[in-house]
Amino acid sequence: MAKKPDGRNNSGRGQRDLFVKVKTARGRKPSSTRWLQRQLNDPYVKRAKAEGYRGRAAYKILELDDRYRFLVPGARVVDLGCAPGGWCQVAVLRVNALGQKAGKAEGRVLGVDLQEVEPVQGAEIHQLDFMDDGADERVKAWLGGSADVVMSDMAAASSGHKQTDHLRIVALCEAAAEFAFDVLEPGGTFVAKVLAGGAETGLQTLLKKRFDKVANVKPPASRQDSSEKFVVATGFRGRAVPPADEEEEA
């Protein structure tokens, strides 16, 4: 189970780690200095380095899975927007993709990202722009069957305009959701990162037609000053279930 970092050092005396203050260097923007200072003092960043995860984002999926239990041994997982690989690392261990849990079914982890991602033992990773024409069909071919979990941590490059960025990430989530509708087994789970901003209402409506439960969660590992949250849709009803508006028209 993922535990929230408490900011304590390893001395056993209960003292807090010293705060690292970063001075603005010549040629470095103040915003870059603030980012670096936040990284150096972030307990999740420190813990990720100590525990071998590729980034603090690993704890977001750990915390979500601790709550909703979708990364179970034997599960087949698709991770969209998988760079730098932290979510894949977590999934490999929890679904038993390496077969290290005796007596437990072996799962599978397939990761996809626009960027090149260093190999993750136990995961199959492909470089692909998921928004390209035909990209979803290529992922389905690599998958070669159905999935139990589709996760999306995809995010568009920041434009500097909050509402534009919000609309872009909602579009990515909707594309990931449509893919999930095609590949998920009944009872499957869809997890995606979104940004609060209002336009995600349509995504919520879409998911509620296809899943038994849809929750909006901000895990402890998500920074409080960030507008990100995660939608967790569980209990996929199956591809044959028509949307509610089609049922009403029938």
Task: Render pLDDT for 173-206 as a digit per residue (tens, 0 to 9).
Answer: 999 999 999 999 999 999 999 877 655 788 899 9
The values of phi and psi at residue 150, to 5°, are: -120, 120
Based on C-alpha coordinates, what's the Rg of the chain? Answer: 19
The values of phi and psi at residue 213, to 5°, are: -135, 140
Check residue 193 and give its pLDDT. Answer: 92
**pTM of the full predicted structure?**
0.80
Options 193, 208, 209, 229, the catalytic residue: 193
5 prior amide bond cis, ω within 30: no
On whether the CB atoms of residues 144 and 112 are closer than 8 A, the answer is no
- pLDDT confidence of 16, banded at 50, 70, 90? very low
Per residue in 144-172, pLDDT tens?
Answer: 999 999 999 998 777 677 777 778 888 99
The verdict on whether residue 85 carries a ligand-binding annotation is yes
Q: Does residue 218 fall inside a structural domain?
A: yes
Q: Which CATH number does the domain housing residue 121 bear? A: 3.40.50.150
Q: Does residue 40 fall inside a structural domain?
A: no
Q: Does residue 46 fall inside a structural domain?
A: no
CA distances from 99 to 41, 121, 203 (A): 36, 12, 36
C-alpha to C-alpha distance for 227 and 151, rounded to whole angstroms = 19
Q: Does residue 25 fall inside a structural domain?
A: no
- pLDDT confidence of 29, banded at 50, 70, 90? low
Residues 6+ apart with CB under 8 A from 186: 236, 237, 238
On whether the CB atoms of residues 113 and 83 are closer than 8 A, the answer is yes
Q: Does residue 23 fall inside a structural domain?
A: no
Who wins on pLDDT, 15 or 181?
A: 181
Q: Does residue 225 fall inside a structural domain?
A: yes
**Parent domain of 131:** 56-249
Number of domains composing the chain: 1
Q: What is the mean pLDDT of residues 213-230?
A: 89
C-alpha to C-alpha distance for 136 and 249, rounded to whole angstroms = 30
The verdict on whether residue 136 carries a ligand-binding annotation is no
The verdict on whether residue 35 carries a ligand-binding annotation is no
Q: Does residue 74 fall inside a structural domain?
A: yes
Check residue 41 and give its pLDDT. Answer: 55
Verify whether residue 193 is a known catalytic residue.
Answer: yes
Q: What is the mean pLDDT of residues 17-35?
A: 52
Q: Does residue 34 fall inside a structural domain?
A: no
Check residue 27 and give its pLDDT. Answer: 58
Q: What is the mean pLDDT of residues 59-66?
A: 97
